[in-house]
């Protein structure tokens, strides 16, 4: 049973940028804060401290981070009140608004007493990897105990919203995509090819 996400602060040990696209150029700060965006992009950068955005502001190009800082909605004082900044619990907190005791992801991997081995935060024997010649046990968000931002968008739009997760790592794509996501894509660490999970779809798009 998943819990409802609760609103909490988020500390920028990860840089979180929510981009609301209204059609560029964006005319003012007020439109970024109060508008109704057609597209939301969340970018999470490991090891990128939140203060780097201002510290290196003068070195950013006009079409990159500076565009977001100058014309987007910018929240520099976000924080979350715990020290476990690993990828899976961090992404889970960012996308659910809950702490580990609410979303259920306490680490990237942990000991499974039933399987008597270490398992990853997104490992799921009931799914298969899609895009590998010898498909093996796949991955899904089944360990999450709270809905994600994408899940809430799906509910709010009666399924019309399109939600995708893309990352170098499985957990970095699957957790943001959530339960109702349309797809999650990541790079297989051994082969270097882009893959997904049968939890989302049974084939890879040609563009992948």
Q: What is the pLDDT of residues 183-193, one digit of tens each?
A: 999 999 889 99
Answer yes or no: are the C-beta atoms of 196 and 185 closer than 8 Å.
yes
Name the token pair of 39. 């597209």
- pTM of the predicted model over 0.85: no
In the chain, what are the domain boundaries?
Answer: 15-197
In this prediction, residue 155 carries a pLDDT of 95
Q: Give me 71's structure tokens.
A: 């014309």
Which residues of the chain are under the pLDDT cut of 50?
4-28
- For residue 33, the model assigns a pLDDT of 59
What pLDDT does residue 107 have? 94
Given this model, what pLDDT does residue 8 score?
39
Catalytic residues: 87
Fold observed for domain 15-197: Alkaline Phosphatase, subunit A (3.40.720)
């Amino acid at each position: 049973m998943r819990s409802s996400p609760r609103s909490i602060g988020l500390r920028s040990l990860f840089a979180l940028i929510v981009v609301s696209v209204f059609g560029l150029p964006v005319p003012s700060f007020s439109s970024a804060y109060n508008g109704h965006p057609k597209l939301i992009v969340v970018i999470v950068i490991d090891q990128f401290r939140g203060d780097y955005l201002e510290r290196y502001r003068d070195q950013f190009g006009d079409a990159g981070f500076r565009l977001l800082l100058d014309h987007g909605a910018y929240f520099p004082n976000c924080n979350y009140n715990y020290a476990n900044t690993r990828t899976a619990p961090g992404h889970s907190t960012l996308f659910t608004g809950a702490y580990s005791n609410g979303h259920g992801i306490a680490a990237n991997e942990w000991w499974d007493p039933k399987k008597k081995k270490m398992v990853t935060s997104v490992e799921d024997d009931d799914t298969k990897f899609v895009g590998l010649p010898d498909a093996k046990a796949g991955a899904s968000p089944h360990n999450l105990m709270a809905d994600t931002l994408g899940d809430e968008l799906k509910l709010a739009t009666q399924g019309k919203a399109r939600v995708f997760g893309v990352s170098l790592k499985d957990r970095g794509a699957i957790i943001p995509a959530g339960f109702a996501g349309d797809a999650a894509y990541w790079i297989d660490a051994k082969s270097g090819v882009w893959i997904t999970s049968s939890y989302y779809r049974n084939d890879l798009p040609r563009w992948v």
